[in-house]
Amino acid sequence: DASAPLLAIEGLEGWYGESHVLHGVTFDVRPGEVVTLLGRNGAGKTTTLRAIIGILGKRRGSIVFDGVETIGMPSRLIARLGVGYVPEERGIFASLSVHENLMLPPRVKPGGMSVDDIYALFPNLRERSRSQGTKLSGGEQQMLSIGRILRTGAKLILLDEPTEGLAPVIVQQIGRTLQRLKAEGYTTVLVEQNFRFAQTVADRHFVVEQGRVVDMIPNHDLDANLGKLHAYLGV
Ligand code: ATP
């Protein structure tokens, strides 16, 4: 069913130890969509991604991916269903080369990109293939971190603030990459502070406030809703 969501989250609650931070997150993502989670610092955006990939200690509610309820599953099984997580801190192994970093995560599903496909997507990485992870620029590290997930065969990509701290020209390159992945049928959940960037890639925006999704703004309505959005983001 083409109209069935690829990811459907309902009443998601989450905790860090005793600290209750998600209070009923509800949203869904259709196949091939790019959606963003927008909201202030501490609203619960990163925690929502961590809950989806299953690395949050305690979760309750429902997260259905590709028809499978994942709320009780360990993260390695969720990854195997085809969910890839690119954390904000990128997780590049400093002592390994670019090539070794790309080869590191196991293939979890058939149909992942080859290393050559990834180098075609990010030509800078091909040039740096023998460089150590730490020798890369911030933009190259971000590309490596995205490329590594594409090799696994994941079809849902969870991206946490990929543009943070990057130069405008690199931000544009990441934007083009996301559009290209969308054209190839990937589905993306993007946490983003830069809503001007978000606007160039997303179909819909979900506003997160105090551990809940409080609003949804279709991308084509974003400009008409700037006042509301500024109030949500406190800018
Ligand atoms: P940011 O952009 O600042 O990361 P966010 O919307 O992604 O914002 P989260 O990182 O999801 O917010 O944080 C949600 C809440 O959980 C905040 O109150 C934060 O202080 C708390 N929190 C985040 N990480 C931890 C942790 N490891 N242990 C305890 N509390 C945490």
pLDDT in tens, 21-57: 999 999 999 999 999 999 999 999 999 999 999 999 8
Instruction: Verify whether ligand 1 is closer than 6 Å to residue 38 (CB atom).
Output: no
Give residues with Cβ within 8 angstroms of 211, minimum separation 6: 13, 14, 20, 21, 22, 23, 24, 25, 43, 44, 47
Q: What's the pLDDT at 2?
A: 58
Distance separating alpha carbons of residues 163 and 207, to the nearest angstrom = 19
| Per-residue confidence band for 132, with pLDDT thresholds at 50, 70 and 90 | confident
Q: What's the pLDDT at 1?
A: 53
Instruction: Verify whether ligand 1 is closer than 6 Å to residue 44 (CB atom).
Output: yes
Q: Is the pLDDT of residue 70 over 80?
A: yes
Q: Which atom of ligand 1 is nearest to the CA of 191?
A: 7
Ligand 1 center from residue 48 Cα (angstroms) = 10
Q: How many residues does the chain have?
A: 235
Q: Is the pLDDT of residue 91 over 90?
A: no
Mean pLDDT over all residues of the chain? 93
Q: Is the pLDDT of residue 138 over 70?
A: yes
Report the amino acid identity of residue 214.
Answer: V
Instruction: Verify whether ligand 1 is closer than 6 Å to residue 46 (CB atom).
Output: yes
Token pair, residue 225, equals 């809703």
**pLDDT tens readout for residues 195-234:** 889 999 999 999 999 999 999 999 999 999 999 999 998 8
| Per-residue confidence band for 105, with pLDDT thresholds at 50, 70 and 90 | confident
Q: What's the pLDDT at 81?
A: 96
Ligand 1 center from residue 33 Cα (angstroms) = 25
Q: What's the pLDDT at 54?
A: 96
**pLDDT tens readout for residues 155-188:** 999 999 999 989 999 999 999 999 999 999 999 9
pTM: 0.94
